[in-house]
Structure 1
Amino acid sequence: MIKCRFENDPQVSSTEPEVVVRAASKNAQVQTLIDYIEQYQNQVSQPKILAIKTDDQLTMLKIDSIVLADIQQSTLLIYTTEEVITTAETLVHFAKRVDNPNFIQISKHAYINLDHLLSLSDSFSGNMTATLTENIKTDVSRKYVKSLMQHLGIR
């Protein structure tokens, strides 16, 4: 059984509380608890909405709904679960603003949201094809295959 309690410590910042997990040893249950706390912290600190400037308006996108961001010529196409939004924003700037560990670069022109990755299949010359939700397919460049596999926990 896990015991939880609050201890008042005036030396700890009120905006950044400190969580300490105490146990006789670092077993699977302790690691699961630490992982849970870290996952919670990441969810709380991640922005939920991203403002995208299009030609005629400012669109508020839920980050969870973004499937793929892909540059074609000088236009960034943002594929969501509902629509495709076009903007003049650069891919690098977009990636910095999203700042989410679920988004990973798969080519010099595209980022995907791993929450929407359904499958990967071999393509030509070492590349792979990623199948995403909404029946979206995109190429994973050979240069990025290894980092994608590591991110997915595959060696």
Structure 2
Amino acid sequence: MSIMFRANPDLSDDELNVIIEAAKPSDEAMQLMQGIRKLSRLNTSTIVVNTETSLELIPIASIIAVEVHDDMLLLRLIQNKAAMQNPRAPSNTIATRDTLAHFLRRLPNEFVRISRQSVININHLRSLKLSYSGNMIASLDAGIDETVGRRYVADLRKIIGA
């Protein structure tokens, strides 16, 4: 793999254009593109969520967990900026129609899938407790508990360095 920089005076100062060239499409090229997309979202501090009545601009740092409920996604949020300092502050819930996989692609790396139905923000993770059948319980801010499926336990432990 070679990496190079080429100046393009036709682009504006805040514009980047990334081109990945290969003889044919490959898993490595796709992974590289996904990684670049995730990196480009790291500087974004809000995400737009389409609810039934409005478009909401949600601070990404306020999202504690995202879970599937029927055909809706429920976003569990810290209520306000002052509550961000208090891990026991109550949460607020916003519902949207989206798939969990699509929504997760829009979020930065600190969001981790813990089951087929749930994603958590590891910045709001307080502890992991053993549960039955190899599962664990993730205790999050605002008193939220989420079940970590046994298929996801090893990945989560690796991410948090346990």
Shared fold per TM-score greater than 0.5 = yes
Residues 104-129 of structure 1 deviation map (CA, whole Å, 9 limit, x = unaligned): 00001110000000000001110000
Matched, 1:116 2:113: no
TM-score normalized by the length of structure 2:
0.68
TM-score normalized by the length of structure 1:
0.71
Matched, 1:59 2:56: yes
Contact preservation (8 Å) 2:41, 2:106: no
Name the structure 1 match of 2:99. Answer: 90
Name the structure 2 match of 1:30. Answer: none
Q: Distance in 1 between matches of 2:151 and 2:40?
A: 29
Question: Equivalent residue of 2:114, what SS?
Answer: strand
Matched, 1:144 2:157: no
Higher relative contact order (CA 8 A, sep 6+): 2
Q: 1:44 to 1:147 in 2, by over 3 A?
A: closer
Name the structure 2 match of 1:74. Answer: 71
In the alignment, structure 2 segments of 5+ residues that lack a partner are 16-38, 80-91
Q: Distance in 2 between matches of 1:80 and 1:46?
A: 20
Which amino acid in structure 2 is aligned with residue 116 of structure 1?
Answer: H
Q: Distance in 2 between matches of 1:45 and 1:152?
A: 19
In the alignment, structure 1 segments of 5+ residues that lack a partner are 1-9, 17-41
Contact preservation (8 Å) 2:125, 2:141: yes
Aligned-residue sequence identity (percent) comes to 32
CA deviation after TM superposition for structure 1 residue 47, in Å: 1.4
Number of residues of Structure 1 aligned to a counterpart in Structure 2: 120
Q: Distance in 2 between matches of 1:141 and 1:59?
A: 30
Q: Distance in 1 between matches of 2:133 and 2:110?
A: 26
Larger Rg belongs to: 1
Residues 39-79 of structure 1 deviation map (CA, whole Å, 9 limit, x = unaligned): xxx69843111000011011100000000000011110000
Q: Distance in 1 between matches of 2:139 and 2:40?
A: 25
